[in-house]
Amino acid sequence: MASKFLKSATVAALLSAVSMPALAVDLQFYFPVSVGGKAADTIQALTEEYVKNHDDVKIDAIYAGSYTDALTKAITASRGGKAPQLSVLLSTDMYTLIDQDLIEPFDDFVSEEEGKEWFGSFYPAFMLNSQTGGKTYGIPFQRSTPVMYWNKEAFKEAGLDPEKAPATWEEMVEYGHKLTKKDDNGNVTQWGLRIPLDGFPYWLFQGLSTPAGAILANAEGNETDFDNPKVVEALEFLVKMAKEEKIMEEGVTAWSATPKAFFEREAAMIWTTTGNLTNIRTNAPFDFGVGFLPKHERYGAPTGGGNFVLFKDASEEQKAAAVDFVKWMSEPEQAAVWSIATGYVAPSPAAWETEAMKAYAKEVPQAAVARDQLEYAVAELSTYDNQKVTNFLNDAIHAALAGEKSPADALAEAQKKADRVLKNYR
């Protein structure tokens, strides 16, 4: 009798387990937004669309502030045993996150064939800050590159071709003189050029050091080349544009205020991220152009922006669900939605072949400029102990702009400091 009862109870339990819905996998997803536009709303809408079609997953998409804020919050949460399973963080944080043993490669959650197809679907330039040691630690998503924006009306007024951006350093200086305006008292009312250098000066500086022919760090993230003569040449040119040519404001101009300065005709040409394209399209009261950063020895600019990263402190079910979500978010259709809404570069050729992106590129041909510039792009400066090392270069740039040190001396000092930190990783 007891045996019969146990058998019936077991069957009942099994039937109950089959009929009950599985508990949803809960995920926390940190994301930063550091440009204008409706990026946060778009992230939320995409996340909700995924959850709607995957009732076995719940995702709490948390806006974590700037890139720096998001990194700090993710590291703090991890140390407290409450790490998010997933985050979009700067691609340059890869070595720092690996060094602190916080993230793991996506390779471990896909077959070799799947990985080859997935990782190989992105533009190679974006993978330079996404892979190391034969593993893929970041999936390109919120990716960008700096570009030049120019006011076509200001070009016309200055007697310049409004459809043609300066192609070389020499032309940029020439155009800058023609575009710089002064009032009767000699005060500048419109600068020819604005390159903001407060938030991440090293990044826009790479828009000069790369065309000069220099690569700031090696692929292993443990050695820099700040005192290379070509880097010195780039910093000397930056200082010269402000202090001698006087086509840009002296000192350090603000990153966040740069689009507004453009809208209000305080600067006729600006350098900023392609991620500001939607913001500028929405708010510029004049026709504008978008072009490559001018060449010197070559064309060139760094890539930038954020990657999806996968945190170790999660269950296997959470990791599997997180990887599936990232795969979905990086599919061409979703990448196109994100790119159109924000101005970030759709990170795969397939995204540009979607009907939505084809229509967008036709309507907004400026959007394709950053994509085309990827042919000449290099990795954004990234090393172990990255914030400390990049700050050495940032300080050198600021010291040279302030006239406190010569470009050569400032960069030599930055290199010595970087060597002291990075020798531990060689």
List the structure tokens of 170.
Answer: 């020499």
Query: Hey, how many other C-beta atoms are within 10 angstroms of the C-beta on 170?
Result: 11
Task: Assess whether pLDDT exceeds 80 at residue 342.
Answer: yes
List the structure tokens of 326.
Answer: 């990232």
Task: Assess whether pLDDT exceeds 50 at residue 252.
Answer: yes
Q: What's the pLDDT tens digit per position in 362-376?
A: 999 999 999 999 999
Quote the CA–CA distance of 124 and 90 in Å, as a whole number.
17
Output the pLDDT for position 23.
56
Quote the CA–CA distance of 347 and 274 in Å, as a whole number.
13
- Mean pLDDT over the full length of the chain: 92
Task: Assess whether pLDDT exceeds 50 at residue 14.
Answer: no
Which listed CATH number (3.20.10.10, 3.40.50.300, 3.40.1190.20, 3.40.190.10) goes with 24-144+305-368?
A: 3.40.190.10
State whether the Cα torsion 313-318-320-323 is positive or negative: negative
Output the pLDDT for position 67.
86
Q: What's the pLDDT tens digit per position in 392-414?
A: 999 999 999 999 999 999 999 99
Q: What's the pLDDT tens digit per position in 89-136?
A: 999 999 999 999 999 999 999 999 999 999 999 999 999 999 999 999
Quote the CA–CA distance of 215 and 209 in Å, as a whole number.
7
pTM for the whole structure:
0.88
Output the pLDDT for position 34.
55
> What are the sequence ranges of the domains in the chain?
24-144+305-368, 146-302+385-425
For 146-302+385-425, which CATH class?
alpha beta
* 24-144+305-368 and 146-302+385-425: identical CATH topology: yes
Residue range 18-29: mean pLDDT, rounded:
67
SS3 75: helix
362 class by beta-carbon count within 10 Å (0-12 exposed, 13-18 middle, 19+ buried): exposed
Q: What confidence category does residue 12 fall into, taking pLDDT thresholds of 50, 70 and 90?
A: very low
